[in-house]
A and B are shown apart, each in its own frame.
Chain A
Amino acid sequence: MSEISQVPSDDVICQNVRKVYGTGKAIFQAIRSVSFSVKQGEFVSILGPSGCGKSTLLMMIAGLEGITSGRIQVGGRPIVKPRTEIGIMFQDPTLLPWKSALDNVLFPIDMMRRPRRQYRERAIELLRMTGLGGSEKKKPRQLSGGMRQRVSICRVLVSDPRVLLMDEPFSALDAITRDEMNVVLLDIWQRYRKTAVFVTHSIREAVLLSDRVLVMGGSPSTVISDIAVPFPRPRDFALGETAEFNQLCALLRDQVQHAHVEGGKAVAPAPNALNSGAF
């Protein structure tokens, strides 16, 4: 594919990121040390048991949560506060109930005080691409859970951010809708090729969507493995039926269990060590 020819620069860099909550005796170390980088246009998933600090890490990359020590850079500049070039998505669609689907998609544009007119067409196009053509005027209540999360995908993309951060965006959906949403995200990501960091509990979801999967674990946590997903793109849902896919899932399941059981003793491997020559 053509994107291999251009030398991708690192869009997101985390170096020895540590997060400690509280002070004195009430101190709680959430993240011991996390280092990794995400290339431009790369889709990286973070897998790990609940409470391992995945979401905290994502919020730190978004500039919504302070870093205790270490460094995070996005687009070559250290993160000190939120930036419009970083878009985030949450587990809940977090739509405004009184706004139509279209107005919800345009909400970031309104907040950024950019002219609506320039983004209206794009917003309508995004809704159409995610299968919501004709639903522009509907309010969130009139939409199903999956449709609401589609609106929230459109909303994060409308301002054309450089980096997408997604915090378990589909984990509140039922299994069938979730599969559907994976396909929607896969299609839309393959079209826009945004740099993406995707936090999830689902191994299959991570493998289907990602170029690399990071496994976090331990308490306080670190990245305990960094595994490349070598399947060519464009991918579709049929990939999930192949033996290679399921082998990789089994390997990851092993890693996640390891993270759960022995995570406390885990040592952070060199970033990208397992990733060399993946593409």
Chain B
Amino acid sequence: MDDKTAVAQSIPTDAPPEPLPNETALRHVYAALPVVLPLLTAVLALIAWEIAVKAAGVNPTILPPPSAIMTRLVEAYPLILQHAIYTGTETIMAFAISVPLGILLAVAMSYSRFINWALYPNLIFFQLIPKIALAPLFIVWLGIGAPSRVSFSVFICFFPVMIATAAGLQSVDRDLLKLCRSVLATNMQIMFHVRLPYSMPYIFSGMKVSVTMAIIGIVVGEFIASQAGLGYLILFASSRQQTDFSLACIAVLCILGLALYGMVEIGEMLMRRWYGN
């Protein structure tokens, strides 16, 4: 938009040549600032970290400089990637289960007030439990394999989807529901043709919270019991005081999280295009 107006202005007012190129350039810089500034801040912070650690002579076991982490990451790249695939796959599995589960529970509770009364207070109560505390029990129940980690992650991350969907299903305009009843729409039709599509923006905001929690769930699971995954690698490296290696894994974990979040964002973009908003 800014670019277009800048171009549009530059065409008719071509006569005074001196101030305009500057102004256009400034506008371009201004438009790029939202992207450039955060990157600049991050780079500056990394440089400050590098200089501070080296100047103060901090033991690299306590805090290695970013350059050392980067070197380590490049060195151990194949190994870290191999473990990242485990973590990524399990996270996606947990997310892929928790989204339909959350939606299904919300639909069931909105469909019948009896189901709502029976479930809702209990689900809230479950939410109040510090769920991390239950992670070791999932190992007891389901073993040390992927099923226990994925189940634990689902247990953590279905809730935001459920709450968001429930809010979306309730947000439908009252008059629209009256209209549906006046054309003799069944509850099932109202659910699938009106309420659920109406809730899509809500569902996606729930999914954005849920996807970050899915990774937390898997990594916590890996901390407790596993022979693979980034969580396992971080714990392994920490126990051997390879702080640079741990931080390299954490960096990959960040990238993984960002990628999954980005996928949900792209999905949301496509949904908004369909939704017409």
Contact = CB atoms under 8 A, between A and B. Distances in A.
B276 A108 contact: no
Nearest to A142: B276
8 contacts: A96-B197, A97-B275, A98-B197, A98-B274, A111-B180, A111-B185, A112-B184, A142-B276
B194 interface: yes
A112 B183 contact: yes
Chain A interface mostly = loop
Nearest to A63: B182
Interface of B: 173, 175-176, 178-185, 189, 193-194, 197-198, 200, 274-277
A64 B181 contact: yes
A86 B181 CA distance: 11
A140 B276 contact: yes
Nearest to B178: A64
Question: On chain A, which size bracket covers the interface?
Answer: 20 to 34
The 7 closest A-B pairs by CB, nearest first: A139-B276, A111-B185, A108-B183, A90-B175, A94-B176, A111-B183, A82-B182
Contacts of A94: 173, 175-176, 179
B179 A88 contact: yes
A63 B178 CA distance: 10
A98 B183 contact: no
Contacts of A112: 183-184
- Residue among B179, B189, B277 facing the most chain A CB atoms (10 A cut-off): B179
Nearest to A159: B183
A82 B184 contact: yes
B275 A98 contact: yes
Nearest to B276: A139
A142 B277 CA distance: 9
A174 interface: no
A92 B184 CA distance: 20
B276 A97 contact: yes
Given A62-B182, A139-B276, A159-B183, A111 B175 contact: no
Nearest to A100: B276
Contacts of B274: 98
A139 B277 CA distance: 9
A265 interface: no
Nearest to A59: B178
Nearest to B271: A98
Contacts of A139: 276
A142 B173 CA distance: 20
A90 B176 CA distance: 9
A41 interface: no
A92 B175 contact: yes
Contacts of A82: 181-184
A60 to B, nearest CB: 12
B191 to A, nearest CB: 12
A53 interface: no
B220 to A, nearest CB: 38
Contacts of A110: 193
A108 B183 CA distance: 6
Nearest to B173: A94
A116 interface: no
Interface in A74-112: 82-84, 86-88, 90-92, 94, 96-98, 107-108, 110-112
Given A59-B178, A111-B189, A84 B276 contact: no
A139 B176 CA distance: 17
Nearest to A88: B182
Given A59-B178, A92-B173, A111 B193 contact: yes
Interface in A30-70: 59, 62-64
